[in-house]
Amino acid sequence: MDEQRCHEVLDLLNEGRLPEAEELSAFIDACAPSSFSGPVPEQACALEARYLAEAGLEGEELKTACPSPEEQETETAASLREVLFAMARSRAQEHFGNRIYIRGLIEISNICRQNCRYCGIRAANAQAQRYRLSPEQILECCEHGYGLGFRTFVLQGGEDGWFTDERLAGIVGGIKASWPDCAVTLSVGERAVSSYRLLRRAGADRFLLRHETADPVHYAKLHPTGQSWRRRMDCLQALKDCGYQTGAGFMVGSPWQTTDCLVEDVRFLYRFQPEMVGIGPFIPHAQTPFAQFPSGNVERTLVMVAITRLLLPAAMLPSTTALGTAAGDGRERGILAGANVLMPNLSPKEARSRYRLYDNKLSEGAECADNLAELRERIQAVGHEIVVDRGDYRPR
C-alpha cells in the first residue's frame, strides 16, 4: 500500500469508520511490517498440520506455509505509526483527558482445568507450582488495595473448580458489602450462563474474557479439542446479555497469526462493541507447546491498540502487563498509543511469583501495587495522571 492510500485509511480510522478488510490488512503491514520478534521455528508447519488434523480441519489451508524472513522496518512505517498514535492519543484525550485508571489485580488461583497451548498455567503443566487464595486472603488484598487508592478490584484466575458459583458469589458479595464504592471485575473464564447471572446478581460489575482470535481455524491451533471457538463467542454474548461491562481481547503475534487474523479481530470488536479490550503481545512459556515460538512484535501490538482506540473511542483499554514485560517502557508506550488503564498487582508476593502465564511476567517494581508512587511518576513523565476512580465505561 502506498503512503497516500495509508493516509486515506488513517482518515477513515480517525472518523471512527472501519476500512475494507484488504485495505486494513495492507495498512497494518505498512505500519508494522514485522509480526514476530524472531524467526518462526522449523517445526511450525508440522505442528500446525497436526493441530488442524486433531481438530478435524485437515482440509484447511495452512496459514503459515513455511517460516519466512520478516520484512524490514522502514522510515515510512515509523512515520505512519507516529501519525496513528497521535490520532489515538487525541481520541483518548477527548474522552478521558489525561486520566489513567488503575485496577487492583488479584490473581486468585493458578489452578486451571483448561489446556490452552500458549498458557503457563495450563492443566498439563506439571511443573507449575499451584496455589489458591482463600476468601479471607482475597478480602485482605482488597482492604490493602483500598487503602492504596484502588476503586476497582479484578479477580483473575484459571478455571479452578473450587471456586463454585456459591463461593465466588460470596466473595463478590463480601467485597461489595465492605467497599460499596468499588467495582468488581471477574476474569475466571468460561462458565454456564446461570453462573454469569448469579455472579452479576451478587454484585460483579465487569467480566474480562478475551476472545483470543476471531478466526475459528486459528482458535483451533491455539487450543486443544474440547475448547470451542463457538463456546467462547457464546460466553461473550451471554456476558453482554447479563449486563456486565464486558471485556474481549487478543494476543498479537501468537503462533500462525496472520495480518488477516488481526483484521478479523478488529472487525469482531467493531461489531461486538465491548466496553473493555485487552491487547498484548504473545510471549512464550517454556512449559508449553509454543515454547520455541518468538514473541509478538511490540510495534505491531501498539498499532492494534491505537486502531482499537480510534474505532472504540470510549472503551477502557489497558496498557497490559505483557507490553511491560516485552519492553521496559511498554506501559508508557501503550498509553501513548491510546490506552487508558493500568492493572498493578495486589496479589500476595508468593502468588505473584507463581501466576506465570508466560515467561518473565512482570510482578515487581512498578507492576506491584505497593509501588504505586513509582508508577505515578512514570505515568506523569508521559503527561498523564493516575486517578482514584472506579473508571466505569461511559458511552459517547
For 249-283, how does the pLDDT look when each residue is reduced to its tens digit (9 = 90+)? 999 999 999 999 999 999 999 999 999 999 999 99
Task: State the CATH architecture for 85-387.
Answer: Alpha-Beta Barrel (3.20)
Label each residue of 219-258 as H, E or C.
HHHHCCCCCCHHHHHHHHHHHHHCCCEEEEEEEECCCCCC
Backbone φ and ψ for 250, nearest 5 degrees, come out as -160, 160
391: left (phi over 0), alpha (psi -120 to 50) or beta: left
- Answer whether 358's CB lies under 8 Å from 283's CB: yes
Chain center to CA of 376: 22
59 pLDDT more than 80: no
pLDDT at residue 200, as a whole number: 98
Cα-Cα end-to-end distance for the chain: 33
Query: What's the mean pLDDT in 370-394?
Result: 93
286 pLDDT more than 60: yes
The 10s digit of each residue's pLDDT in 156-200 is 999 999 999 999 999 999 999 999 999 999 999 999 999 999 999
Query: What's the mean pLDDT in 371-381?
Result: 92
Give exposure, 185-208, as e/b (b: 16+ Cβ within 10 Å). Answer: bbbbbbbeeebbbbbbebbbbbbb
Based on C-alpha coordinates, what's the Rg of the chain?
20
SS3 state at 265: helix
Domain ranges of the chain: 85-387
Report field, pTM of the whole predicted structure over 0.75: yes
85 pLDDT more than 90: yes
